[in-house]
Every structure is written in structure tokens, then in C-alpha cells.
Chains A and B, each alone.
Chain A
Amino acid sequence: MIFKYNSYFDTMYLAIFLPVAIVVYACLPRKNARRVWLLFTSLFFFWCDGKGLLVYILLSTLFMHHGGLWLGRLHDRLSAALKDTPKEEKKALKETYKKKQRWVLAFFIALELGMLVVLKYSGFFVNNLNALMGLFSENTRLLVPHFLLPMGISFYTMQAMSYLFDVYHKKIEPDTNIGRLLLYMSFFPNVMEGPICRWSETAESLWNAERVSYQNLTLGLQRVLWGCIKKIVIADRLNPFVKNVFGGYDKAVDFELVHFDFNAFPGWVIALAAVAFTLQLYAEFSGAMDMALGVGQIFGVKTPENFQRPFFSLSISEFWKRWHISLGAWFRDYVFYPVSMSGPVKKLTGKARKKLGNRFGPLVGGSVALFAVWIFNGLWHGAGWSYIFFGMYHFVLILLGNIADVLMQRFSEKTGFKRDILPVRIFRICRTAVLVVIGELFFRAPTLTQGFAMFGRIFTAFAAKTEEIRWGVDRKDLAVLLFTVGVLFIVSLLQEKGRDVRTRIAGKPVVVRYLFWYAAILFVVIFGAYGAGYIPVDPMYAEF
């Protein structure tokens, strides 16, 4: 293998692949050549990860291309037929075509989703089926399939499905050019960890293959550097501690510090590790997004933001509008609203509103749709009961949050209690963060049972033999971590107050700017966590 990337922060990617991709792109004078180059680099990136696995994304693109064209043809035929049809027969004609379109849509969605389900979930389903069958007969066992997962399949499948849904709903026109579709599916900065793009937002700017402008280049590189700070300085430095307490992901069993026995830790260390993991996940995932969006910006591509300072959220419901935004938006548009607008759920909402009123009524129908969203959200993250529990945990919290919100509003109206004053807001922000951290503990625990055991220890194990704990983080690490997290907090706070930190830095005099960048680069080089004793954290969302 010529290149092998574990993440967008690999030296191989940062020092060779990315600079070559950008420099060659910038040197190509013709738009078409730049398009071909982007496509070539994207497919090459994919090929490096898994050679033959490239076939899956090609198939996925082929299906969406054919599906889109077929749906488009049915739209055109319907429009033509409607012109010559008497008014009273139009409704019946529309219904006939609607039925056909539904079948076509269902067929292609089944193909797209089928690949994901077979490759990602068949092992989980067969394991559970075997466990179930084991209750009745000890000798019956099905062979558990193990497939290699193509890079980014959970992300690009969502993109393909949203394209087909949008063509079906006539939100977008189907595209005849399969090259444009393939670039939308495989664009290398996004393919590993998202964000999940929409055709209407991204495809055009991708195919435009703009020239590299000075402003896009500098702003893009600035964001790449910020991503490096988050990932290499924060996430990687926290890795030994998190792995010591939680144990490694299955893939990382060769990591020498792994001694998975959380019973060795007192409760407060487990709680601290849950906080550390949440911080690590945020630094890794949002850092990867800075990398993806920064590189996208260099190529002049509009990619949707995936994070909006989630830890300033007042409620869990708000948190999910600010964390992994593109996934939440996908589920909202293609699961939540279609389910809540479906006939039976609509009827349920109507009845509930009559009995329970405007505030609580919609919760009944809405909760059916929310349940669907969170089952899928949990499963999207992985084939395992921990993930399903994670989804259900947030479903219950959002539901309770909605009920509590209505009650609190009534309480405020009656008593004059102000929910918007700073101390109350800070309390709500902290409460939301604690609930998120508890969820992440279960999310990170190797199994659901171990998750419960670890959670239990927080409240029961007080004995602290801290001298025996292998922290994996020394005083120097801690100082660097506290400083960098402090910087992250201040930057986030400024952004939260509406200050555009990026443009402000870019607007400083050239000397100040360059000094700032050299300092930032040196900071990553000196304080980045690599070398002996550190294993960079795997791109967490690439696993999903």
C-alpha cells in the first residue's frame, strides 16, 4: 500500500497527500482538469484505505444515479400526461404515478440501505439471533458474518438516500452526470467523518472547482491548524487516561497501556474519565470537522457546519441541534417530520391536542416520531446494545425535557421566576453537560453491562488508592491540557457572543498574523501528543 491513513491528522496525509492535492489543483488552469483531479484524489484516498472496498461507493453512486433518473423520468411523464388529461381525472393519474414513484424510491433506498445493513449490522443481528436460539437449542448456531466496512459508508449512504428522497419530492433535479454524483459522494475531506452533505448545498460548489483564492487558502489553513490543536494537543493527550479507565476499542487491543479493569478505579476517577472522554470526543470530532471544512474551503467548497459550541446548550434538545448538526438535520428531515406527518401519527396528535391542550398534545404524536429518530440514531452509531441504550437515553431525556419545559414555563408565569438570568442559565448549561457526560460513559463503555457497572461505581466506590492508578497523564500533560482547553473555552465563548474570531485574526497586520501562526504551529509541534507513550486516538466517528 502506498499510503495508509488512520485519520486526517496522520503525517502521511498532512505532509504529503494534502499538500500535493492542493498544489496540483492550484496549478491546473482548466476547470475540467481541476474537477478530474478532485475526483481522482478522492477515489485514490478511498482506494488507499481498502482497495476493493472502493466498489461499494461506486455501486452506491450508480444506484443513486439510476434511481434519480428513473424518478425524474416519472415526474416528466406525469407532467406531460397531466396536460392532456381532463380535470376530473387528474387526481387519479397523480395517484397512479405516485404509487409508481414510491416503488422506485423504495427499491433504490432498499439497495442503498441494504448494503449498509448487510455490511454493518449482519454480525450484530446474527449474534443476537444465536443468543435467542440458544435459549431453545444448544446446537443451533448460525455462522456470524464479518465484513470489512468501507470507509465512511454510514456517511455517504445518508448522502445518497437524501439525494433520492429530494429527487422524489422534487426538491432537486436528478443529475445525468455520474461524475458529479461520484464527487459529491466521495469528496476526500468529508468522506471519513462527515459532515453529511446535502446535494442542494454542496454539489454545485464542488463541481464549480473554483480556483484557489488567497482568502480561501489562508482561512482554510487557519481552520486546519485549529483542528490540529484540538485533535493532536487535546484528544490525543487525553487518550492514555481514557484508555486506561475504559479499555481500548476492540481495534486497539495492541495498545500496551490497556489494562481494562475499571474495578481498580475509585468512582471519582471513573467520573473524571467520563468527562475526559466527552472532552476527547468533542475535540476529536469537532477537530476533524475543522479539518474537513478548512480543506473544503481551500477548494472553494461549501460544506455545512457540524458543530455550534454544543456545551453552551441549555437543554439536551438544544444540545442535539448543536452537536453533529448534519446527522440531526438528516433525521429531522427524513425521519421525524415524515413520521409525525404520516396519517396515523397526525390523527394521534389531533386527538391528544383536544384532550391535553396545545402544549402537551403535540408531545404524544411527536414522541412516536422522536422514538423512531433515536432508535435510528443509536443504531447509526453502531451495531450494539450500548448504542441503542445511548439513543433511548437521549430519547427519554428529550421527552422529559419537553414536559419539564412546559411545567417550568407555567411555574415562571405564576411565580415570576426568571429562567433567563445568568445564574439559572449557568445551572441549566451545567446540568445539560452532566447529562451528556453520563450518556457518553455508556457510549464509550465496552459493553452495556460494563457501562452500568461503571456508572454504579461512581456512587458506590469511594476508596481511593490513587498511588496505584496508572494515569497515563503526567503534570506536564495536565498543564498543556488545561491551557489548551482554556483557549478552546475562550474562543468558544467569544464565538458564542457573536465575535468572528477567524476574520478578526485574518484582519490583523501581516507581522502580527504571521507571528500568531508560527506560534500556533510551534504549539502543535511542541505540545502535540505524539512519540513514545502516545497512540493517536482513532477517528472516532469513522468507526460509525
Chain B
Amino acid sequence: MDELMELLQELDPEVDFENEEALIDDRILDSLTILALIADIEETFDVTVPAVEIVPANFNSAKAMYAMIERLQEEG
């Protein structure tokens, strides 16, 4: 989780990623930032994020993102 928080802070230091629960719904993260974030996630956590996983439910909060990463790691 710490690694993910680091990635997120680097991407946009002004956002409170710890508490924000509607990163997509409130348009805090736009689609291009998501692309950069996914590239980071794939590199850091050694997973492949398929396009079908890019839904608000998986990216609205740091927690949701981490849950998705763990799931993708398990699925291998």
C-alpha cells in the first residue's frame, strides 16, 4: 500500500489520496492520468491491468486500487 501511495503522490501531490473516495466520479483523475498510473502500477507490482479493469469501482480510491492489484497478482 505504501508503494502505491508513493506512486499516487508523485502523480499529483495536491490530491489527498488517503481519504479521497471518488477520484473518478469527481473527475479528480482524468483518463490520461489513469494511463500514467496504470503504467506505474504495472511496472511496480508486476501485473497487467487489462482495459476491462478500468472502471470507477477500481480507481475511485487508493484502497480500491490496491484491492485490484492484489486480485490481479493472485490471478497471476
Contacts and interface: CB of A to CB of B under 8 A. Distances in A.
Contact of A338 (B30, B38, B49, B51): B51
Interface string A329-346: 000110011101100001
B50 A341 contact: yes
Interface in A434-484: none
B32 A341 contact: no
Given A341-B38, A349-B39, A362 B50 contact: no
Contacts of A332: 31
Given A317-B30, A318-B27, A321-B27, A362 B35 contact: yes
Contact of B39 (A169, A321, A350, A402): A350
A336 B31 contact: yes
A366 B49 contact: no
B75 to A, nearest CB: 11
Which bracket fits the contact residues of A?
20 to 34
Contacts of B30: 317
Contact of B54 (A341, A358, A363, A366): A341
Interface string A346-388: 1001100100001001110110000000000000000000000
B4 to A, nearest CB: 16
A152 B32 CA distance: 32
A402 B32 CA distance: 9
A353 B35 CA distance: 11
Nearest to A367: B32
A337 B54 contact: yes
Question: Which DSSP category, helix, strand, loop or mixed, fits chain B's interface?
Answer: helix
Contacts of B44: none
A99 interface: no
B11 interface: yes
Contacts of A336: 31
Given A171-B52, A337-B51, A349 B35 contact: yes
A349 B49 CA distance: 14
Interface in A390-438: 402
A169 B33 CA distance: 24
A373 to B, nearest CB: 10
Given A341-B38, A349-B39, A353-B39, A362 B27 contact: no
B27 A346 contact: no
Interface string B21-59: 000000100111101101100000000011110110000
Contacts of B27: 318, 321
Contacts of A321: 27
Contacts of B2: none
B10 to A, nearest CB: 7
Contacts of B32: 362-363, 366, 402
Contacts of B39: 346, 349-350, 353, 362
Contacts of A362: 32-33, 35-36, 39
Interface string B1-21: 000000000110000000000
Contacts of B51: 337-338, 340-341
Interface-centre pick from B10, B35, B54 (highest chain A CB count, 10 A) = B35
CB-based closest 7 A-B pairs: A341-B51, A337-B51, A169-B52, A362-B36, A362-B35, A338-B51, A366-B32
Contacts of B50: 341
A340 B50 CA distance: 10
Contact of B36 (A333, A338, A341, A361): A361
Nearest to A332: B31
A358 B11 contact: yes
A346 B50 CA distance: 11
A366 B35 contact: yes
A395 to B, nearest CB: 14
Nearest to A345: B35
A169 B53 CA distance: 10
28 contacts: A169-B52, A318-B27, A332-B31, A333-B54, A333-B55, A336-B31, A337-B31, A337-B51, A337-B54, A338-B51, A340-B31, A340-B35, A340-B51, A341-B38, A341-B50, A341-B54, A346-B39, A349-B35, A350-B39, A353-B36, A353-B39, A358-B11, A358-B36, A362-B32, A362-B33, A362-B39, A366-B31, A366-B32
Given A338-B51, A341-B50, A365 B11 contact: no
Contacts of B33: 362
Contacts of B54: 333, 337, 341
